[in-house]
């Protein structure tokens, strides 16, 4: 423990710092047992966890949507830790960059943001322009150009533990 101005803090100890890798998995369902998984050329995730705060980055390249349902929402599973359950509806937003998608040709122009809800270990992608409505526009499988779309995401969220 380290002491600053007579306040002891455990967050500065090495036991509260971890870093590692994870494998993000793009699915067409929030369920890990329903729906289908996309194949990719590369699926890489890295994280740093300090205390309960997790900073994660991920990249999915050359996403193959064969076998996925075009109207289903894109869901990225495999985050290293589930999000904290705040007891109220809480969203953790991040930033992202997408290449070779058709998401900007429809009626919703975004901006698109990755979103993690309380107590979940996956993220979805929503249109920030409609975020205030109860059901924001969702990024769906048909928004990806098969075999050439890439998604890069950075997000920081509070872990459950």
Q: pLDDT tens-digit profile of 123-133?
A: 998 876 655 55
- Specify the DSSP element, H or E, that contains 2: strand 2-4
Low-confidence stretches of the chain (pLDDT < 50) are 1, 104-107
Query: Which pLDDT score is estimated for 74?
Result: 92
Query: Which pLDDT score is estimated for 91?
Result: 72
Q: How far apart are CA 137 and CA 125, in angstroms?
A: 9
Query: Which pLDDT score is estimated for 93?
Result: 76
Q: How far apart are CA 102 and CA 74, in angstroms?
A: 13
Structure tokens at 12: 């500065």
Q: How far apart are CA 39 and CA 60, in angstroms?
A: 9
Query: Which pLDDT score is estimated for 6?
Result: 54
Query: Which pLDDT score is estimated for 63?
Result: 92
Enumerate residues 6+ apart whose C-beta is below 8 A from 107.
none
Query: Which pLDDT score is estimated for 111?
Result: 73
Structure tokens at 18: 């971890």
Query: Which pLDDT score is estimated for 144?
Result: 84
Query: Which pLDDT score is estimated for 125?
Result: 87
Residue appearing with tokens 């996925």? 68
**Number of CB atoms found within 10 A of residue 119's CB:** 12
Query: Which pLDDT score is estimated for 118?
Result: 87
Tell me the whole-structure pTM to 2 decimals. 0.82
Query: Which pLDDT score is estimated for 105?
Result: 44
Query: Which pLDDT score is estimated for 107?
Result: 44
Q: How far apart are CA 115 and CA 74, in angstroms?
A: 11
């Amino acid at each position: 423990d380290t002491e600053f101005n007579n306040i002891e803090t455990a967050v500065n100890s090495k036991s509260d710092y971890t870093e590692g890798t994870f494998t993000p998995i793009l699915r067409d369902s929030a369920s890990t047992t329903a729906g289908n998984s996309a194949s990719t050329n590369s699926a890489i995730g890295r994280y740093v966890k300090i205390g309960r705060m997790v900073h994660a980055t991920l990249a999915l390249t050359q996403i193959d949507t064969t076998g996925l349902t075009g109207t289903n929402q894109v869901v990225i599973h495999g985050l290293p830790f589930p999000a904290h359950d705040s007891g109220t509806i809480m969203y953790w937003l991040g930033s992202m960059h997408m290449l070779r998608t058709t998401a900007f040709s429809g009626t919703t122009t975004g901006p698109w943001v990755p979103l993690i809800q309380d107590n979940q270990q996956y993220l979805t992608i929503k249109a920030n322009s409609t975020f205030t409505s109860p059901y924001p526009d969702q990024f769906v499988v048909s928004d990806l150009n098969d075999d050439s779309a890439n998604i890069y995401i950075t997000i920081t969220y509070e872990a459950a533990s």
